Amino acid sequence: MAGSVLAEIEARGHEQVVFFNYPEVGLRAIVAIHNTVLGPSLGGCRMRLYPSEESAIEDVMRLSEGMTYKSALAGLPLGGGKACIIADPKMTTGREALFKKFGECINSVSGRYITAEDMGTSVADMMYVKQTSKFVAGTDPRRGGAGDPSPWTAKGVFVAMQAAAERVFQTGRSLKGKRVSVQGIGNVGMHLLEHLAQDGAILTVCDPNAGALKEAASKYGAQVVATDAIYDVPSDIFAPCAIGQTINEHTLPRLTCKVIAGAANNQLSDSSVYSSITQRGILYCPDFVINSGGVICVCAEVTGQSDNTHWIKSKIEGIYDTTARVLDESARRGKFTEAVAVELAKEIIQAAKADKK
């Protein structure tokens, strides 16, 4: 983060950023509410030992802005927000007290922010939050919650990949025979493999988790490579499904793919790689357009329709349409896909704002 916190708030257009400090339970948290025009801001709570306070602020600001665009493009009645707790995600002692206090913190913004799981937090943590706050989702499916959203996220990424492949390879919607490299086969990546294998794609995977690699090889016939080798594997589609910012000036020259489409948030190191991606003839599917399956699922919980799979499925299929629209608009205007997607999201928010007046 280059400037002051207030400069960052102004530049990104946040409505409210709140800092909480309760040392008696080890809670240092930031709640960033980016935009509430379409509805209450919703976004996961990330728990992490950040290298610095600055990096925590930057992370929560960037992710909350992304949530605004993600929910808008998915057609959800939600705004964008995110929270981070600066603490060791592996902590066991005192976890209940910490998350109950976090619930009280959320209450203080009066429903303008709804939390859920993210990296470092779990369904169990959200159940602690639920003891002190009603502004929480992603809770236990046995108690009316939406449960694990990853299968829906994977399905959304898969249909978006099909929309991209249709345009780039001109061989229809099917991914049969396409070489897909999946970076990270955790909750989303593994479900994605299932769709890809069913569709006849040829799979290569990497992950530090040996158990997951074994499963991918035996269940889906995936070829396994070392984590750093994934960039060099000849492929048609590269799917980042692990951590953020893996597409950068160092990795891009190694990629042979024609499409990048994956679940990870903030896949691009920064906007300076836009031109390199375009020059290399790669079609980039913006992460916040295609990984909204999770927030769709969580939205179903918030709006009391967790068991309405018809609604969830139609929204997930909508990711195909939105991706197609973004890619076509980008081609027509000669503008980078991510910039087009942000513009489209802002238009949706502006129209809603005008309607409210």
State the catalytic residues.
Answer: 82
What CA–CA distances, in Å, run from 73 to 234, 290, 318, 326? 32, 9, 9, 10
232: nearest Cα among 256, 208, 267, 203:
256
- Min separation Cβ 10 and ligand NAD, Å: 27
184 binds ligand NAD (CB under 6 A): yes
- Identify which of residues 39 and 240 has a Cβ nearer to ligand NAD in the complex: 240
Q: Which of residues 136-155 bind ligand NAD (CB under 6 A)?
A: 149-150, 153
What CA–CA distances, in Å, run from 176 to 196, 237, 285? 8, 12, 19
Give the burial string for 95-110 (b: 16+ CB within 10 Å, else e).
beebbbbbbebbeebe
The span of 24-32, 52-60, 179-187, 214-222 binding ligand NAD (CB under 6 A) equals: 179-187
Residue facing ligand NAD at closest CB distance: 186
User: Which residue from 188, 196, 282, 283 is in contact with ligand NAD, where contact means CB under 6 A?
Assistant: 188
- Min separation Cβ 128 and ligand NAD, Å: 20
- Min separation Cβ 45 and ligand NAD, Å: 12
Per-residue x/- mask for ligand NAD, residues 222 to 241, rule CB under 6 A?
-----x-------------x
- Identify which of residues 94 and 186 has a Cβ nearer to ligand NAD in the complex: 186
In whole angstroms, give the CA distance from residue 59 to residue 68: 15
In whole angstroms, give the CA distance from residue 8 to residue 286: 23
- Identify which of residues 243 and 351 has a Cβ nearer to ligand NAD in the complex: 243
In whole angstroms, give the CA distance from residue 109 to residue 18: 9
Q: Which two tokens stand for residue 298?
A: 């969580």
In whole angstroms, give the CA distance from residue 195 to residue 192: 5
The span of 50-58, 76-84, 138-146, 200-208 binding ligand NAD (CB under 6 A) equals: 200-208
Residue 316 exposure: Cα atoms within 13 Å on the Cβ side:
24
The span of 104-112, 201-209, 299-307, 349-357 binding ligand NAD (CB under 6 A) equals: 201-209
Q: Which of residues 244-273 bind ligand NAD (CB under 6 A)?
A: 263-265
Q: Are 41 and 35 in contact (CB under 8 A)?
A: yes
Residues touching ligand NAD, count (CB under 6 A): 24
Q: CB neighbours of 150 closer than 8 A, spacing ≥ 6?
A: 186, 187, 188, 191, 294
* Binding site residues, ligand NAD, CB under 6 A: 149-150, 153, 183-189, 206-209, 212, 227, 241-243, 263-265, 291, 294
